[in-house]
Amino acid sequence: MGVHHPGERTVQQRAGLIDHAGFSAAAIRNEIPDVAVEFLSRQPMLVVGAADTDGAIWASLLTGAPGFVTATGPATLTIDAVPPDGDPLHGVLARPAHVGMIAVEPATRRRMRMNGKARPVAGGLHVDLDQVFANCPKYIQQRRPTPAPAAHDHTATPWHGTELTPTHLALVEGADTFFIATADREGNADASHRGGSPGFLQALTPTRLRWPDYVGNAMFTTLGNLEADPRAGLLLPDWDTGAVLQLTGSATVDWNPGRAAAVPGAQRIVEFTIDHIVHIDRASPLRWTAPAYSRFNPPAPRPFGREEERP
């Protein structure tokens, strides 16, 4: 995968940041920096994104005791975990697949993104990396895992649907964090983080979401992928219960500056249309402390009444 593909360059140009993006590209490596080896070794969770056999993009949460993610070479990882039964990527990662990954350490507000090709190994994954890059700490809410995580339940039956239930809507509208997986036209996947004040992610209807796109690093990896392929997957963790809400669908970017100006901190607006939903209770053993919100979070958009579904 090149440093910036045509979709990314198109978005960088549209945002008027093509020169700045050139400087940001210098941070993208094809090997794991030494300082990141130790960072990865202490992580208890990793978000992975990939496409299923129908081309739908999903994001999944992998967890394990610190050390379950190991740098086994300058550009290789071993992950001692796979998505559980019922997870949309369980079967996908049982064979070679392009994956995007992000490790976020809420306690230190550090994050690291890695993209490459995964293949199954006994009880886990081996990943050959193409891209490795860190991101700034903006919009990460500070949390710490509880000292004695509750046991998770690999037998929990996933819930499938096409519309958000009232329980899901409450999770969406109270969210301060979610993860988004995308891919470019060649299928190279990426996983990224989005954070803000509770309410920054809004449900327009039970099948449509909206969020502001804030100032970032000018790489525009996510928006560049959406320019090339609008399919995307969202992952919303329930930090209190260990449940995960996984959504797949398509996203569009609204570049109208007038609409962005109406939302605090927004550079542009992203809308997401849901095609399918998977909800898994107790998917993660991790429980987290209450958040300390990032000082970079803009105020949440003004609440509004939910729209009726379009005919």
**What does the pLDDT look like over 55-67, one tens digit per residue?**
999 999 999 999 9
pLDDT band at 284 (very low <50, low <70, confident <90, very high): very high
CA angle 140, 145, 238 (to 5 degrees): 65
Candidates 271, 262, 265; CA nearest to 297 is: 265
The CATH-assigned architecture of domain 6-280 is Roll (2.30)
**Structural contact between residues 100 and 181, judged by C-beta atoms closer than 8 angstroms:** yes
Is the pLDDT confidence value at 124 over 50?
Answer: yes
Averaged over 70-95, what is the pLDDT? 96
CA angle 220, 226, 228 (to 5 degrees): 105
Q: How much is the mean pLDDT over the chain?
A: 90
Is the pLDDT confidence value at 308 over 50?
Answer: no
pLDDT digit string, tens, across residues 70-80: 999 999 999 99
Q: How far is CA 264 from the centre of its chain?
A: 22
Q: What is the pLDDT at residue 228?
A: 93
Q: What is the pLDDT at residue 302?
A: 76
Q: What is the pLDDT at residue 134?
A: 85
pLDDT digit string, tens, across residues 257-282: 999 999 999 999 999 999 999 999 99
Q: What is the pLDDT at residue 195?
A: 98
pLDDT band at 9 (very low <50, low <70, confident <90, very high): confident
Q: What is the pLDDT at residue 301?
A: 85
> In 10 A of CB 200, how many CB atoms?
27
Q: What is the pLDDT at residue 191?
A: 98
Q: What is the pLDDT at residue 219?
A: 78
Q: What is the pLDDT at residue 25?
A: 62
